[in-house]
């Protein structure tokens, strides 16, 4: 063993997007599209490794730069209609 740790970058698209409050890590998952389902499967695969970390990001943005919405191709929505 080399002491490395697996860090898996996931997304809030593992949820159905209907919550009225911020999601908690233990909330039930219900992805609505292929992207969300594939990220959820990645989480499940990563979770079998002891000490692994799963990080779920949400709407990514930055001051003075391009944000997630601006970075998308026109007419392309990788999610399920949010934004």
**How is the chain split among helix, strand and coil, in percent rounded to 5?**
25, 10, 65
Catalytic residue among 8, 13, 23, 35: 35
Q: Residue 13 gets which letter from DSSP?
A: G
DSSP calls for 41-73: HHHHHHHTSTT-EEEEE-S---TTS--HHHHSP
Q: Is 8 a catalytic residue?
A: no
Under DSSP, is residue 11 helix (H, G, I), strand (E, B) or coil? strand
Hey, which residues are catalytic here? 35
């Amino acid at each position: 063993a080399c002491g490395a740790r697996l860090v898996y970058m996931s997304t809030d698209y593992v949820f159905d997007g209907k919550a009225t409050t911020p999601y908690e890590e233990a909330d039930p998952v219900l992805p609505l599209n292929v992207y969300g389902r594939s990220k959820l499967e990645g989480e499940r695969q990563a979770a079998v490794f002891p000490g692994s970390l799963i990080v779920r990001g949400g709407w990514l943005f930055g001051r003075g730069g391009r944000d997630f919405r601006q970075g998308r191709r026109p007419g392309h929505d990788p999610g399920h209609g949010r934004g």
